[in-house]
Structure 1
Amino acid sequence: MPIRPEHRFFYPIDWRQLSTTIRFDRAGGACEGCGRPHGRTIYCLRDGRWWDAAAGTWRDGQGRTLSTLPTIEDLGGIRSTRVVLATAHRDHDTADNVAANLAAFCQRCHINHDRPEHRRRRWRTLFRRRAMGDLFQGRP
């Protein structure tokens, strides 16, 4: 996942090599959250279940084999997606680059992992905008 130019200075100079080591050497080219393989196109349902063609089975959002198959109604919402692994910081601190703090996640697992942090940042941004409006424009 590319890093925005304005955020590049938050990451170490050797981030590309560090990320490659985590994604391919440690994780073996598969998501550490759900097991989706990097670079492959998979078929998935809206709730996170996906078809593992290598094993010939359906898996849930955590990579476990399903005991019951999806119904015909579920298969109506099937879509294909190409899996791309990215290295995520478990504690959202880009300065903490020890291996235990880094994880190889697919797009779905990465966004699910970051959801609380995104919600917190969105609240802070909206709060700051409202405060700036009150400060300079006054309360109506």
Structure 2
Amino acid sequence: MPIKPEMRGFYPIDWPQLSDSIRFRRAKGRCEQCGRPHKQLVCQLADGRWYDDEAKRWRDDKGRAVRTNLPNPFNLPSEIKARFTYVVLACAHLDQDISNNAPTNLRALCQRCHLIHDRPHHRLSRWLTWRSTKAMGDLFTGRYR
């Protein structure tokens, strides 16, 4: 995920090299949560299963091989809804603290896994933003309606 311009100063100068080291040396270009490959087009079903083109098999949302009678993505029946997504790896801070750049705190995650990991943080940020708009309304314009 791109770094917001106002947050860029909080990252170390060597962040691109550190991020590349985590994503490509340690994780070998695959998501460390689900195993999706970087810069590949992946077929994904609604329940999170995805097709691993290298292994020629379906995997679940944790990257484990799934026993299924589904054919490859190009031969799927029309009633099965599948979509193709382009996977991009990002280097994620596990504790949401961007000053903590210890290798144990960093993980290479695809967009889907990164959003799932950050969901509680995003939910809290959304709630705080909503509450602050109510507080500003109470402070300056009377009761918020």
Q: Structure 2 length as normaliser, TM-score?
A: 0.90
Gaps of 5+ in 2: none
The number of residue pairs the alignment matches comes to 140
TM-fit CA distance, 1:76: 2.5
Is the CA contact 1:42–1:50 (under 8 Å) kept in the aligned structure 2? Answer: yes
Q: Tell me which moved more, 7-16 or 85-94.
A: 7-16
Identify the residue that residue 105 of structure 2 maps to in structure 1: 101
For the aligned residues, what is the CA RMSD?
Answer: 1.7
Rate the CA distance shift 1:88–1:75 in 2: closer, same or farther, 3 A: farther
Identify the residue that residue 84 of structure 1 maps to in structure 2: 88
TM-fit CA distance, 1:137: 0.8
Amino acid of the structure 2 residue aligned with 1:91: D
Identify the residue that residue 115 of structure 1 maps to in structure 2: 119
Distance 1:10 1:73 in 2: 49
Please give the per-residue CA displacement for 1:58-116, whole angstroms capped at 9, x wherever unaligned.
00000001122459679631111111000000011101110000000001000100111
Identify the residue that residue 66 of structure 1 maps to in structure 2: 66
Q: Structure 1 length as normaliser, TM-score?
A: 0.93
Identify the residue that residue 39 of structure 1 maps to in structure 2: 39
Identity in percent: 55
Rate the CA distance shift 1:131–1:74 in 2: closer, same or farther, 3 A: farther
Matched position secondary structure for 1:6: helix
Gaps of 5+ in 1: none
Matched position secondary structure for 1:100: helix
Please give the per-residue CA displacement for 1:11-63, whole angstroms capped at 9, x wherever unaligned.
11111111000000110110001000111111111221100010010000000
Distance 2:19 2:80 in 1: 36
